[in-house]
Structure 1
Amino acid sequence: MDFAGKDKATYVKETFNAIAGHYDLMNSLMSLGMDKRWRHIAVQRVGARPGMKILDVCCGTGQLSMELGNVVGEEGNIIGLDFSQNMLDVAEHSLAHSPNRDRIHFIQGNAMELPFPDHSFDGVTVGWGLRNLPDLRQGIREMVRVVKPGGKVVSLDMAKPSFPGFKQVYWLYFEKLVPIMGKIWAKKSSAYQYLHDSAREFPSQQELVRIFAECGLTETNYVNLAGGVVAVVIGTKPKD
């Protein structure tokens, strides 16, 4: 993948800083409005309940963090972490208008070195973030490290549809139309070309399940959404 002569971390950070103001609109357009339902399923799969403390890695504009905040209640706590300050600025603006603002906190940080002690969270989520990491396995191992034994790590991300005909139409749409949409609405077609390229290179949902297990998680599985265009991948940290 071409990172314009930069390392992946720098390229990704600059890319998301550039599209932060249009990110939520583009997500809704690209997903045909299904992204909210997908986030709701991720919240269910991490087992969010009132009183829980959950970390949302690569939180971006905070939409998944705020879905989690709706569930954990007044006694719960959600921390959203991202390394793009512009994305966090959008998240903070949205949070200011949320009734859950006292239970959600956004911080800038590096998913490769999470700034938390071992066993700090009841669950960890990451939405559309793993494929942006410079080292996928290191990022997953960090999530495993900070979740409590018995807690779940859940990824919501692009996947690999397998139905003949449908998958060809999907990749054509993603490769040709999405960058045009990005140019029109986000003024940054190259950013949405990167989204296509990163989705192409990202492991399939089946392979990601194997990587979750390799990184120390058990009871690993996945749930296909929208015909396998998107998948939720789940793993549980073994109890001591």
Structure 2
Amino acid sequence: MDFSGKDKAAYVQETFNSIAGHYDLMNSLMSLGMDKRWRRIAVQQVGAKPGMTILDVCCGTGQFSLELGKTVGREGKVIGLDFSQKMLDVAQQTLAQSEEKGRIQFIQGDAMELPFPESTFDGVTVGWGLRNLPNLRKGIQEMIRVVKPGGKVVSLDMAKPTCPGFKQAYWLYFDKLVPLMGQIWAKKASAYQYLHDSAVEFPAQQQLTRIFSECGLRDTKYINLAGGVVAIIAGTKPRL
């Protein structure tokens, strides 16, 4: 993957800053509107309940955080963390018009060094963020560190479909049409070419589930969505 002379962290930050204003529209277009349902399922998998405190890593424009906020209720709290300030600016604008604004806080931070003590959160989520990290295992280990024993770590991200025919059509769409859509609606084809390239390099759902386990989570599993185009990976931090 070509980062144009930058390290991955700097390239990703610059890329997401550049598409922040169009990010939610593009997600809806690329997923045919299914991204909202996917987030709701991921919220269920992290076990979010009223009164809980949840961390949403790589929160971007805050759509996952907002869905979590609906579930934790007035007595709960959601912290959304991202290192792209422009993505967070969009998240703040959306939050200001939301009923969840009293229970969600957005902060700028590094997923590689989460600014929280051990065992702080009842659950941790990351949506379409793990593949952007410069060190996948370290990012997962940081999420495990800050979740309470018995709490879950849940990732929602691109996956790799295996059905013959559908698999080839999907990668053709992702490689050719998605960058074109990015150029038309976001004026940034290269950002959406990166989306394709990062998805190609990202571990398949079966492998990522094993990595979750190797990092120390138990009862790890994956759930395929949309024929394996997207997958939820979940695991539980062992109790002491």
Shorter-chain TM range is over 0.9
- Report the Cα distance in structure 1 between the residues aligned to 2:64 and 2:45, rounded to whole angstroms: 13
Name the SS of the counterpart of 1:101 in structure 2.
Answer: coil
CA RMSD between the two structures: 0.2
1:108 is aligned to 108
Amino acid at match of 1:163: C
The TM-score with structure 2 as length reference comes to 1.00
1:223 is aligned to 223
- What are the ranges of 5 or more consecutive residues in structure 2 without an aligned counterpart? none
Task: Tell whether 2:197 aligns with 1:171.
Answer: no
Amino acid at match of 1:9: A
Q: How much has 1:30 moved relative to structure 2?
A: 0.2
Name the SS of the counterpart of 2:207 in structure 1.
Answer: helix
Name the SS of the counterpart of 1:91 in structure 2.
Answer: helix
- Report the Cα distance in structure 1 between the residues aligned to 2:115 and 2:80, rounded to whole angstroms: 12
1:45 is aligned to 45
Name the SS of the counterpart of 1:115 in structure 2.
Answer: coil
1:235 is aligned to 235
- Report the Cα distance in structure 1 between the residues aligned to 2:144 and 2:211, rounded to whole angstroms: 12
2:63 is aligned to 63
Name the SS of the counterpart of 2:55 in structure 1.
Answer: strand
Q: How much has 1:157 moved relative to structure 2?
A: 0.0
1:179-228 deviation per Cα after TM superposition (whole angstroms, max 9, x unaligned):
00000000000000000000000000000000000110000000000000
Name the SS of the counterpart of 1:64 in structure 2.
Answer: helix
2:159 is aligned to 159
- Report the Cα distance in structure 1 between the residues aligned to 2:185 and 2:70, rounded to whole angstroms: 29
Aligned residues: 240
1:4 is aligned to 4
Name the SS of the counterpart of 2:154 in structure 1.
Answer: strand
Q: How much has 1:231 moved relative to structure 2?
A: 0.1
Q: How much has 1:28 moved relative to structure 2?
A: 0.2
1:25 is aligned to 25
Amino acid at match of 2:48: A
- What are the ranges of 5 or more consecutive residues in structure 1 without an aligned counterpart? none
Q: How much has 1:21 moved relative to structure 2?
A: 0.1
Task: Tell whether 2:140 aligns with 1:140.
Answer: yes
1:164-188 deviation per Cα after TM superposition (whole angstroms, max 9, x unaligned):
0000000000000000000000000
1:33-88 deviation per Cα after TM superposition (whole angstroms, max 9, x unaligned):
00000000000000000000000000000000000000001100000000000000
1:90 is aligned to 90
Name the SS of the counterpart of 2:163 in structure 1.
Answer: coil
% identity of equivalent residues: 77
Runs of 4+ in 1 over 4 A off after TM superposition: none
The TM-score with structure 1 as length reference comes to 1.00
Amino acid at match of 1:43: V
Amino acid at match of 2:57: V
2:35 is aligned to 35
